[in-house]
Amino acid sequence: MQRSGPVDGTPAEAEVFTTVLTSGPIARADIARLTGLSSAAVTRVAKLLIDEGYLEYAPGEPAASDETRMGRPSSPLRVHADQTGSFGVIVRRDELIGMVCDLAGGPRVAERRPLTDNRVEPAVAAVAAFYRDLAASAQRLGFVDPPAHLGLSLSGDIDHDTGYVRYSPFLGWRDVDLGAAVSRAVAAPVVVENDVKALTVAEQWFGLGRGITNFAVVTIGTGIGCAIVVDGGLVRGAHSVAGEIGHLPLGDPAVQCHCGAHGCVEAEASTKALLDRCRAATGRDDLTIGAAVELARAGDDGVRAIFSRAGQVIGLALASVANLLGPERVIVAGEGVSSYDLFETAIREAFAEQAFGAAHQVPIHVRDLPFEEWARGAAAVAIQELVFPSRQRVANDMRRRTGVRRG
Ligand SMILES: [Zn+2]
């Protein structure tokens, strides 16, 4: 059945813009087919987005399907990339990675700079200075409207709707009104998102999540993170904490996690947990994670066993995601994939043992994504905020209040 107007509270503008962005150039008839919106609704919304400068007609031949389905020829649509853009910055413990993207999410400028003092106030000042430099670079790119929106991502328990950081363990931040502080410092709209969720938006728009409606991204490294897309929508959950598989109790219940709970995946499989164990096993307090990886690859049985145990716990976490959500694929990313060879066998064995029924068949894709791709995700979140700002919030609030689900 074709629908017109908002789809279960999701604005049609968001559906049309995102479809053109991920599948364009695309004919309006094909947008209607992919979104389930009526042809009339697509035409109305496309006109609105063209008038706002966000979409444009692609040069070239009229799309055949538009001729047949709508009775008149029209060019396919694409995102007007040069209309404007956005900034994405990921805040890591000791580094800021920033990107300027055009409206289609195309990377235009990428930069890194050290974060020498990661306490809240100096970090906000460093982000603001970085933003001003990125904005100066963006000025030279010839956008119709200079980009202003900033997407900021960091690990931890982040309330996307308010920009409030409840807890970011690797920065040591608790209860920080980050969105408001950065927004004041840069005098521009700022949206804050959990780093894995932002990366997942980039995967959905440009990566292995393109064209599929159910998938999960699991990150291994400093933390064990996860974000989930169900029926085409990023699942944030009631308090924006959906997907925290790092704190599923699948590990040794005797081991306490930094979060205070016991048996968390992260307490055995994060980089720090691995390093602590490798140091204890070798008696070398100065061991680095790189040296531990080398020892394991050189055949040190004790160190290999520690990586293998971490792989087992990660495999159980992946199986939990597969059993709970039945994704079409699971994408594994994060800096830990550089030593994936040390986890792989244990991950596969634990996954095969614990995945139930058809969940066995869920393919696991390992992706070595640089942090620029994470920053691109933050820029993508800022594009969402730019193109469908409060409407998205209203939809989220409505869904939360009424428990309405899509699909
Ligand atoms: Zn925990």
In the predicted structure, residue 3 carries a pLDDT above the cut 50? no
Give the per-residue pLDDT at 68: 47
For residue 247, how far is its CA from the centre of ligand 1 (angstroms)? 4
- Structural domain that includes position 27: 12-79
In the predicted structure, residue 21 carries a pLDDT above the cut 80? yes
Tell whether 173 and 272 lie within a shared domain. Answer: no
In the predicted structure, residue 72 carries a pLDDT above the cut 90? no
Tell whether 244 and 119 lie within a shared domain. Answer: no
Average pLDDT over residues 255-273: 95
Confirm whether 24 is domain-assigned.
yes
For residue 280, how far is its CA from the centre of ligand 1 (angstroms)? 21
User: β-strands 215-219, 329-333: how paired?
Assistant: parallel
For residue 245, how far is its CA from the centre of ligand 1 (angstroms)? 9
Tell whether 224 and 332 lie within a shared domain. Answer: yes
Tell whether 323 and 381 lie within a shared domain. Answer: no
The CATH number for 361's domain is 3.30.420.40
Give the per-residue pLDDT at 358: 87
Average pLDDT over residues 90-117: 97
Average pLDDT over all residues of the chain: 90
Give the per-residue pLDDT at 407: 33
In the predicted structure, residue 198 carries a pLDDT above the cut 70? yes
Average pLDDT over residues 177-195: 97
User: Of 37, 55, 79, which one is at a domain's C-terminal end?
Assistant: 79
Average pLDDT over residues 140-157: 96
Specify whether the CB–CB gap between 196 and 225 falls below 8 A: yes
For residue 392, how far is its CA from the centre of ligand 1 (angstroms)? 31
Average pLDDT over residues 319-329: 94
Token pair 């790189």 is found at 290
For residue 318, how far is its CA from the centre of ligand 1 (angstroms)? 16
Pairwise CA distance, residues 147 & 197, whole Å: 22
Pairwise CA distance, residues 266 & 336, whole Å: 12
For residue 246, how far is its CA from the centre of ligand 1 (angstroms)? 6
Specify whether the CB–CB gap between 15 and 233 falls below 8 A: no
Tell whether 93 and 64 lie within a shared domain. Answer: no
For residue 402, how far is its CA from the centre of ligand 1 (angstroms)? 30
Pick 5 or 382 by higher pLDDT: 382
Tell whether 75 and 89 lie within a shared domain. Answer: no
Query: Could you tell me which of 19, 25, 60, 62 has the C-alpha nearest to residue 41?
Result: 19
Give the per-residue pLDDT at 391: 46
For residue 108, how far is its CA from the centre of ligand 1 (angstroms)? 37
Q: Which two tokens stand for residue 128?
A: 């603001």
Give the per-residue pLDDT at 38: 95
In the predicted structure, residue 62 carries a pLDDT above the cut 70? no
For residue 262, how far is its CA from the centre of ligand 1 (angstroms)? 7
For residue 82, how far is its CA from the centre of ligand 1 (angstroms)? 43
Confirm whether 6 is domain-assigned.
no
For residue 255, how far is its CA from the centre of ligand 1 (angstroms)? 10
Tell whether 230 and 163 lie within a shared domain. Answer: no
Give the per-residue pLDDT at 11: 79
Average pLDDT over residues 294-307: 97
For residue 104, how far is its CA from the centre of ligand 1 (angstroms)? 37
User: Confidence class of residue 216 from pLDDT cuts 50, 70 and 90?
Assistant: very high
Q: How many domains does the chain have?
A: 3
- Counting residues of the chain whose pLDDT is more than 90, the rounded percentage is 81
Give the per-residue pLDDT at 401: 44
In the predicted structure, residue 395 carries a pLDDT above the cut 80? no
For residue 230, how far is its CA from the centre of ligand 1 (angstroms)? 24
For residue 228, how far is its CA from the centre of ligand 1 (angstroms)? 19
User: Confidence class of residue 69 from pLDDT cuts 50, 70 and 90?
Assistant: very low
For residue 250, how far is its CA from the centre of ligand 1 (angstroms)? 11
For residue 264, how far is its CA from the centre of ligand 1 (angstroms)? 5
Give the per-residue pLDDT at 390: 53
Tell whether 227 and 347 lie within a shared domain. Answer: yes
For residue 252, how far is its CA from the centre of ligand 1 (angstroms)? 12
Confirm whether 4 is domain-assigned.
no
Give the per-residue pLDDT at 64: 52
Tell whether 241 and 264 lie within a shared domain. Answer: yes
Tell whether 120 and 168 lie within a shared domain. Answer: yes
In the predicted structure, residue 12 carries a pLDDT above the cut 90? no
In the predicted structure, residue 279 carries a pLDDT above the cut 50? yes
Tell whether 223 and 331 lie within a shared domain. Answer: yes
In the predicted structure, residue 4 carries a pLDDT above the cut 50? no
For residue 67, how far is its CA from the centre of ligand 1 (angstroms)? 56
What would the 3-class secondary structure string for the chain be? CCECCCECCECHHHHHHHHHHHHCCECHHHHHHHHCECHHHHHHHHHHHHHCCCEEECCCCCCHHHHHHHCCCCCCEEECCCCCEEEEEEECCCEEEEEEEECCCCEEEEEEEECCCCCHHHHHHHHHHHHHHHHHHHHCCCCCCCCCCEEEEECCEEECCCCEEEEECCCCEEEECHHHHHHHHHCCCEEEEEHHHHHHHHHHHHCCCCCCCCEEEEECCCCCEEEEEECCEECCCCCCCCCCHHHCCCCCCCCECCCCCECCCHHHHCHHHHHHHHHHHHCCCCCCHHHHHHHHHCCCHHHHHHHHHHHHHHHHHHHHHHHHHCCCEEEEECHHHHHHHHHHHHHHHHHHHHCCHHHHHCCEEECCCCHHHHHHHHHHHHHHHHHCHHHHHHHHHHHHHHCCCCC
